[in-house]
Chains A and B, each alone.
Chain A
Amino acid sequence: MRYMMLVCVDESVEVSEAEGLPTAWVDEMEGRGVRKFGSRLRPVSDATTVQVRGGEVVLSDGPFAETKEQVGGFDLIDCRDLDEAIEVASKHPAAKFGTIEVRPLWEE
């Protein structure tokens, strides 16, 4: 089953590279054949939101949701079941200081 891991972190919290960089995790999960694709995202200050209202394109600066934690990266993983996805997500370094949402892809 394929799951999207949304890696959510509080950008205002300083995290050292040793703690935050998922290089070892990526190597491990790609080696296992679990991680298919993913990337870190630029900070929310570089985000643009797009809406169409009354035929007009409405743009605004910043993130869609005004929450403390923002999506800071994503990983598409292919796992046997949710238990494996949980295991994979719990090994991501951001799980220690952020929140990882594991969402199954909408596949029939």
Chain B
Amino acid sequence: MSSGVEAAVADAFRDEWGRVLATLIRMTGDWDLAEECAQDAFALALERWPRDGVPRRPGAWLTTTARNRALDRLRRGASESAKVQEIPLPSQTDDPDDLGDDDDDRSVHDDRLRLIFTCCHPALPLEARVALTLRTLAGLTTAEIARAFLVPEPTMGKRLVRAKAKIRHAGIPYRVPPGHLLPERTGGVLAVLYLLFNEGYAASAGADLVRQDLCAEAIRLARTLAMLMPDEPEALGLLSLMLLHHARRAARTDGADLITLEEQDRARWDAREIEEGLAHLDAALRHDRAGAYQLQAAIAACHATAADATDTDWKEIALLYERLAQVVPSAVVRLNRAVAVAMADGPAAGLELVDALDDSGALAGYHLLPATRADLLRRLGRHAEAAVAYRQALELATADADRRYLSRRLAEVTGQG
């Protein structure tokens, strides 16, 4: 087989898998059947395309082929004859190469949105939502998802089977939620995509490429969602946030060690991703409905557009964190605000906020609280107190890269650096 055709099938898989599967699920109402038929269609493409050439519209070819497979299978199972009639015929002909341009693209879009909302239904456990989204929309195999989440393959397999069974048995609808449910459910979908991204981002200090690929998958899914929901600025905001963080990935580690934002070589940031992220943020903010993702993207944009660390607009960042804290009442956001205030108004002002947080006990056990305190004390020249806080942070930190950073700073303030 020529590598050109192989690449075409690989491209089609990446671009069309979710679309083909989403449409097949709507047509058959049977997730397993839909998945098998979609797989068959891609297998057939590998066989046919080298001989017949790549079809003009690979997605339509694949959907029609998969639909015909589903019809064949349902016809063979006589007891399922009722279902066959439910499958609408998109065109007069069953020949996949002879499809007109009359395919209703809008319904295809809706199918993928239906699939996203169903996979992320709040009645499913969070880990199942994440796995199902990767399996059905991104087309990752069970083995790949298992590796990405560091669980044995059979465990992940069971998780997917249970989730699909619950969708069927509990009557989770295959649809985009109606207006009154949409804001809440959209938030749930965005949270799943952001979780996916963060899983990948947290892994980027290690050598695990499968986990790092989660970032790219999350960006792809967020891009799709933003395209399908043009009136939802938070979808654009999330896409922007992911791109602006992803742009820093090459600069944020030095082999295994994390490099702080301040010390990163900004020439290694991905200028194209930054540009795209800023454009999406602009488009989102034009809706004038700034939510948590847009505010976080706006913070990331302040960093992305600063020529160097000293050029950073910390006053603006501190303000954005203050707004974020109103939208998301989270102690971690308040900690980040304290860091921004320390940068804008000096370490003493930041330390005051960190100490207030410490007294509230809201972040007990979170290593970044003593780590932040330690950094501020170090900047104030209070080295003995800083050393105590670094030791507290070291007791709580688990990631190797975090521990090496803290040990290095501890050595500095105790004069052993």
Chain A positions near chain B (C-beta within 8 angstroms): 1, 3, 79-83, 85-86, 104
Contacts and interface: CB of A to CB of B under 8 A. Distances in A.
B5 interface: no
Contacts of B173: 80-83
Contacts of A1: 171
Contacts of B172: 81-83
Contacts of A82: 121, 123, 170-173
Contacts of A80: 173
Nearest to B168: A104
Interface residues of B, number: 9
5 contacts: A80-B173, A82-B123, A82-B171, A83-B172, A86-B123
Contacts of A86: 123
Contact of A104 (B171, B177, B181): B171
B169 interface: yes
Contacts of B169: 104
The 8 closest A-B pairs by CB, nearest first: A81-B173, A1-B171, A81-B171, A82-B171, A82-B172, A104-B170, A82-B170, A104-B169
A83 B170 contact: no
A86 B171 CA distance: 11
Q: Which of A3, A80, A83 has most B Cβ within 10 Å?
A: A83
Interface in B150-206: 169-173, 177, 181
B284 to A, nearest CB: 28
Interface in B94-150: 121, 123
Given A80-B173, A82-B123, 9 more contacts: A1-B171, A3-B171, A82-B121, A83-B173, A83-B177, A83-B181, A86-B123, A104-B169, A104-B171
Contacts of B121: 82
B161 to A, nearest CB: 17
A83 B188 CA distance: 15
B88 to A, nearest CB: 21
A1 B167 CA distance: 13
Interface centre among B121, B170, B171, B181 (most CB of A within 10 A): B171
A75 to B, nearest CB: 16
A85 B352 CA distance: 49
